[in-house]
Structure 1
């Protein structure tokens, strides 16, 4: 795949924002002479799954400005609407690392940076070239005993390498000339393309899609999934952009698996798994009993999304409610009821 030159990914953007926030807080602390900040800054709802929730924790929000997150969310959801609709594909691994930032006039900026670097590195490059030339000359010089230097080892002959590279280039050009991205002259190839495992018109039962923190309930329990799995990941990504923390970060314990902890966190924050859905997966028996309850985790502490945003991340009551109302349709536990990208574009929060 070939793309235009792009900038950093959203994870880097988040980390830079976090560093900026830390510097700002440090400056404020020194200025006010109030001492070091001792509050934690990492949220993990696992803390409320199986142990008492720390109500005294005052998490510092380390996400991006809400107005910026709205712009990013709108563009990501528009991209998913296009991917799911016209392209008939599912992303399956949406996360901050996989979203890149566009830079205006990137070539102009790149040229300016290269021009600045050239002046600085010219002398060093020239010296390196001289040293390399001397090394080659020395390798071909007679040995101290007066015998001729041994023949160069295979693969080190520049002329031979150049010839091999030219042959490889010609071979690649010949192969590429027979490829058309628009269509295929081979009917069987078109037939196979229509059976792509990325088609949202089909449901799949594969386990290994989505990075853990962005994995949807249907994938965790091993039941059929479709393009709505991307919408679950999208909601988790937007929460992370807003707060700087994962929405779900499961861990395994002595009596329970990481998957069961993940489900426990989802139940606490989003809601109870419908019994029929909970028992529909390949891995359901490992996670739930016959009543649709978790097998090994019994003590759950509900902490709704709007409360999480308000209590731990200090969003206003109004903002917490509006953000939660926007995210919850993408966080429907049953994928059949989960909102599609084309419908999410109409949401008021994005306008």
Structure 2
């Protein structure tokens, strides 16, 4: 006997024509873009085997999606090689951002191709406009790359990425930023694990192998919700008599990294050789898992830390994690009052990367090769496109304060946060608001001062939000009075059980990049030869990642 189809669900809504009972929209594909974003101004519906630019690019499968675009693996008929095609939403604000990105990518391509940092910035191949009867979408073609550093962190979330591997990644990120900062005069403004991708050696052979082994693309047809307007807090669906469109949403199949170890298990998992931490939370400031909402407004899958878009709402959580933590554990609200987590393995290392690396090849001696991607938010250092920069957890103090005199050093702050996150699989800063008591910005500045110490009143003033956060005379925080310092070295020793020597070495590397006063912060070129990124005698080669 055939199973019965599930019962349809309905909801009571208020429309312009009065109250109505309407069917509930089908849920979107898990971890894929929302069908609602296929309305006017949104994504272009794309299917496997669709073609672009007069048949030059043929769609092979979906690689992923973001707030601004969907990304597809395509076969280039001219070069007979594969590329990554980014199809941007059609709304004017997204098109303008895409045009800015194309200008910046062209600028990056034209400067100093022999600079050792150039291979660590993604390569831009082509751009064009795809026009349909409904809208026009800007498309950008890139070299195909593998997973981002967030995937690497997730794979090592129990112990952190092996310290040896982090040394190599840190060196390459700093080289890439030195190229952007010093050669191109560009500030990336959104350095975070998602925007640092792992390059795949002999990528064409790897893609052919993966396509022969991986399952065929799968998709799901769902209804596109009708556009809605909000009036006095009530959602009012529009044009209820109009038939609903259907859209085919494909499941993302990002390029897997090549086999990372001879000890890879049959299910594709790896044994973790971590940095010596064992974490249960997305930030070392919170020993509990909390939901973080991304720019799409939906929570991600269980076990995967949720990311926050840089333009996130400041009122996203009705009850902060500090409330829940204090009530459940009976502890102080301070993020410093946490117990250390047991050390389960010692860190290992890898050989140093030479700044004179051949830019056209991928030397086999490097266990990983990264590229900085997503220049859509990049800006000249002196002529800013916007003052609203950086994703929350990686945001520099001058950006939190709303200063306009920031420059390339905001990226250096973000790099230090990313390096800490790689080592620990936890955020360095993850501020939360406390209702009407204080905002995320208040908590963010409190966490920075508790970790790095106080800084001058001059550095605190001069920003759009300075007087909202600090008292102009004394320089004290207005709404968070009680601070309990927990310096970075103590954090590494007490929570992550680093030895005194290891903690000292790491802090000597990170603290110059985390100077709260941007005038005291180091540049990328100042950090490239730091001893922490050199191989240590006790380090073992990285044979898996």
Q: TM-score range by the shorter chain?
A: 0.5 to 0.7
Task: Give me the whole-angstrom Cα distance separating, in 2, the residues matched to 1:97 and 1:313.
Answer: 24
User: Larger helix proportion, structure 1 or 2?
Assistant: 1
Match of 2:412 in 1: 231
Match of 1:68 in 2: 165
Match of 1:267 in 2: 449
Match of 1:8 in 2: 147
Task: Give me the whole-angstrom Cα distance separating, in 2, the residues matched to 1:326 and 1:298.
Answer: 30
Does 1:240 find its partner at 2:240?
no
Task: Give me the whole-angstrom Cα distance separating, in 2, the residues matched to 1:310 and 1:204.
Answer: 40
Contact in 2 for aligned 1:206/1:222 (Cα 8 Å): no
User: Larger strand proportion, structure 1 or 2?
Assistant: 2
Match of 2:492 in 1: 309
Q: CA distance change for structure 1 residues 300 and 102 in 2, over 3 Å: closer, same or farther? A: same
Higher RCO (Cα < 8 Å, 6 or more apart): 1
Offset of 1:112 from its aligned partner? 1.8
Match of 2:478 in 1: 295
Larger-Rg structure: 1
Task: Give me the whole-angstrom Cα distance separating, in 1, the residues matched to 2:387 and 2:433.
Answer: 18
Q: CA distance change for structure 1 residues 265 and 205 in 2, over 3 Å: closer, same or farther? A: farther
Contact in 2 for aligned 1:14/1:241 (Cα 8 Å): yes
Query: Alignment length, in residue pairs?
Result: 234
Task: Give me the whole-angstrom Cα distance separating, in 1, the residues matched to 2:448 and 2:212.
Answer: 52
- The correspondence for 1:77, drawn from 174, 179, 183, is 174
User: RMSD of the TM alignment (CA)?
Assistant: 2.1
Where structure 1 has 5 or more consecutive residues not aligned to the other structure, the ranges are 22-61, 125-195
Contact in 2 for aligned 1:207/1:220 (Cα 8 Å): no
Offset of 1:205 from its aligned partner? 9.7
CA distances 1:25-65 after superposition (whole Å, capped 9, x unpaired): xxxxxxxxxxxxxxxxxxxxxxxxxxxxxxxxxxxxx3101
Offset of 1:310 from its aligned partner? 1.1
Q: CA distance change for structure 1 residues 249 and 336 in 2, over 3 Å: closer, same or farther? A: same
Offset of 1:346 from its aligned partner? 1.8
Q: CA distance change for structure 1 residues 279 and 73 in 2, over 3 Å: closer, same or farther? A: same
What secondary structure sits across from 1:100 in the alignment?
A: strand
Q: CA distance change for structure 1 residues 78 and 215 in 2, over 3 Å: closer, same or farther? A: same
Q: CA distance change for structure 1 residues 106 and 265 in 2, over 3 Å: closer, same or farther? A: same
What secondary structure sits across from 2:411 in the alignment?
A: helix
Offset of 1:323 from its aligned partner? 0.6
**What TM-score does the superposition give when structure 2 sets the normalisation length?**
0.41
4+ residue segments displaced more than 4 Å: 203-206
Task: Give me the whole-angstrom Cα distance separating, in 1, the residues matched to 2:216 and 2:464.
Answer: 59
Task: Give me the whole-angstrom Cα distance separating, in 2, the residues matched to 1:319 and 1:121.
Answer: 47
Task: Give me the whole-angstrom Cα distance separating, in 2, the residues matched to 1:16 and 1:317.
Answer: 27
